[in-house]
């Protein structure tokens, strides 16, 4: 089987080195790019990101890749969003004024302030796998630990898209979504040790066709 080629979108704000290193470790060929033709020709697409919503969206607009990103997802090309790469899929965010890609109906929300609750949510926390059959979770424990750095979280209009949640203070919030070959996580798999490497490996296996994608969520 040939090595899967993954287009890693470069908009000057992604944690590209760590993400590409993790993808290479699990057998993929990561290609950092702003070329829409290369993105559409790749076997899969990864949209990483750190920072604020407005600067993320401004960076994505500046690449000229918006149509290619939407086209790749419409063609069911395996897609993995990481951190801001998840938030960008939604229409808007309480953090800023820019419009998101609006691929998934919903909005990005801020954690509510609570006594003795630090914001941002930073460090290790356990996932509750609301979609345990999602390909990203195969080979993991029932409540895997992953690494977070965020003050905002996605709130999709369709709760069936939520693949995992996390509890922080009294709040239980979505931190992963899955719809067919479109998958995205709020945490950083590239910083989550062996668990994160397994998640990246699972995504690469979806790309290579050795594992079936998660079924489409039923329309409400």
pLDDT in tens, 63-116: 999 999 999 999 999 999 999 999 999 999 999 999 999 999 999 999 999 999
pLDDT surpasses 50 at 218: no
Active-site entry in 134, 142, 190, 218: 190
Strands 29-33 and 162-168: unpaired
Q: Is residue 116 part of a domain?
A: yes
User: What are phi and psi for residue 93, nearest 5 degrees?
Assistant: -140, 145
Rounded average pLDDT over 130-154? 97
Q: Is residue 101 part of a domain?
A: yes
134 is catalytic: no
20 is catalytic: no
Q: Is residue 217 part of a domain?
A: no
Q: Is residue 55 part of a domain?
A: yes
Active-site entry in 17, 142, 188, 216: 188
pTM summary value: 0.94
Q: Is residue 219 part of a domain?
A: no
Strands 90-93 and 79-82: unpaired
Residues 6+ away with beta carbon under 8 Å from 70: 101, 103
Looking up tokens 């951190």, which residue turns up? 83
Give me the number of domains the chain comprises. 1
Tokens, residue 220: 């409400």
Domain that holds residue 50: 5-208
Helix (H) or strand (E) holding 63: helix 53-63
Active-site entry in 17, 20, 83, 98: 83
Q: Is residue 58 part of a domain?
A: yes
In CATH, what number is assigned to the domain containing residue 177?
3.40.50.880
Rounded average pLDDT over 193-200? 98
pLDDT at 210: 57
Q: Is residue 159 part of a domain?
A: yes
pLDDT surpasses 90 at 61: yes
CA distance 120 to 75: 35
Q: Is residue 218 part of a domain?
A: no
């Amino acid at each position: 089987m040939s090595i899967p080629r993954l287009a890693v979108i470069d908009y000057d704000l992604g944690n590209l080195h760590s993400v590409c290193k993790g993808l290479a470790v699990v057998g993929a060929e990561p290609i950092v790019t702003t070329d829409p033709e290369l993105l559409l020709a790749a076997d899969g697409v990864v949209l990483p990101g750190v920072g604020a919503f407005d600067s993320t969206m401004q960076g994505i607009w500046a690449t000229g890749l918006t149509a290619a990103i939407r086209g790749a997802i419409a063609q069911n090309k395996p897609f993995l969003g990481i951190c801001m790469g998840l938030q960008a899929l939604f229409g808007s965010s309480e953090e800023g004024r820019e419009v998101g890609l609006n691929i998934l109906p919903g909005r990005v929300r801020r954690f509510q302030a609570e006594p003795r609750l630090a914001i941002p949510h930073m460090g290790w926390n356990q996932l509750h796998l609301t979609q345990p059959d999602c390909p990203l979770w195969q080979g993991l424990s029932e409540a895997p630990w992953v690494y977070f750095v965020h003050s905002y979280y996605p709130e999709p209009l369709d709760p069936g898209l939520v693949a995992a949640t996390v509890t922080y203070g009294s709040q239980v919030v979505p931190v992963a979504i899955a719809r067919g070959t479109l998958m995205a996580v709020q945490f950083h798999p590239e910083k989550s040790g062996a668990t994160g490497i397994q998640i990246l490996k699972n995504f690469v296996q979806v790309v290579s066709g050795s594992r079936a994608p998660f079924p489409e969520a039923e329309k409400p």
